Structure 1
Amino acid sequence: MLKIRLSRQGVKKKPCYKIIVANSKKARDGRFIEKIGFYQPFNIQNNISINTKRIQYWISHGAILSKKVKFLLKLK
């Protein structure tokens, strides 16, 4: 099953997250199919970037959004 979720990047105490499409069985920071955006919680300007066309494409192919990604889409 495909899932659109966050993958943690960055350094200690300053996380940065990639929004990715991955198999739900893979590890959080493991292999992924496609990177479709990013989220930087500590950056005031331009902290969310999401490719909505690719999200629609993956949803049409059966991908499921995680709770946090749904929340970020509402903010965007």
Structure 2
Amino acid sequence: MAVRIRLTRKGRKKQPFYRIVVADSEAPRDGKFLDIVGTYDPMQNPAAITIDNEKLADWMKKGAKPTETVESLIRKVGTGAAAAA
């Protein structure tokens, strides 16, 4: 089971809101996930990004790999886990 850290979409039509989740790579985008690591709200100015650094670091130590988009969000926030990515 390959584990990925990726976005899942919430919110209404034309008003996206994303959760940063840890999920099996074969699970559907908005389907079953293992843990919620943070949120991303692109509708705010500037975009609001919140990440639980402890959970993120723990999952990355266990071998979870972030997607390119999540990796760029981690870099924008400047968490310590970005070095591990």
How much does 1:45 deviate? 5.6
TM-score, normalised relative to structure 1: 0.95
Residue equivalent to 1:62: 63
SS of the aligned residue for 2:33 comes to coil
SS of the aligned residue for 2:29 comes to coil
SS of the aligned residue for 1:27 comes to coil
Residue equivalent to 1:6: 7
Q: Distance in 2 between matches of 1:45 and 1:74?
A: 15
Letter in 2 for 1:32: F
Residue equivalent to 2:20: 19
- Deviation string for 1:4-62 (max 9, x for gaps)? 00000000011000000000010000000000100000112671100111111001111
Task: Structure 1: give runs of 5+ residues left out of the alignment.
Answer: none
Inter-CA distance 70–2: structure 2 relative to 1 (3 Å threshold) = same
Residue equivalent to 2:37: 36
RMSD: 1.1
Return 38-47 or 24-33, whichever deviates more: 38-47
Q: Distance in 1 between matches of 2:21 and 2:48?
A: 16
Task: Structure 2: give runs of 5+ residues left out of the alignment.
Answer: 78-85
Percent sequence identity over matched residues?
36
TM-score, normalised relative to structure 2: 0.85
Residue equivalent to 1:51: 52
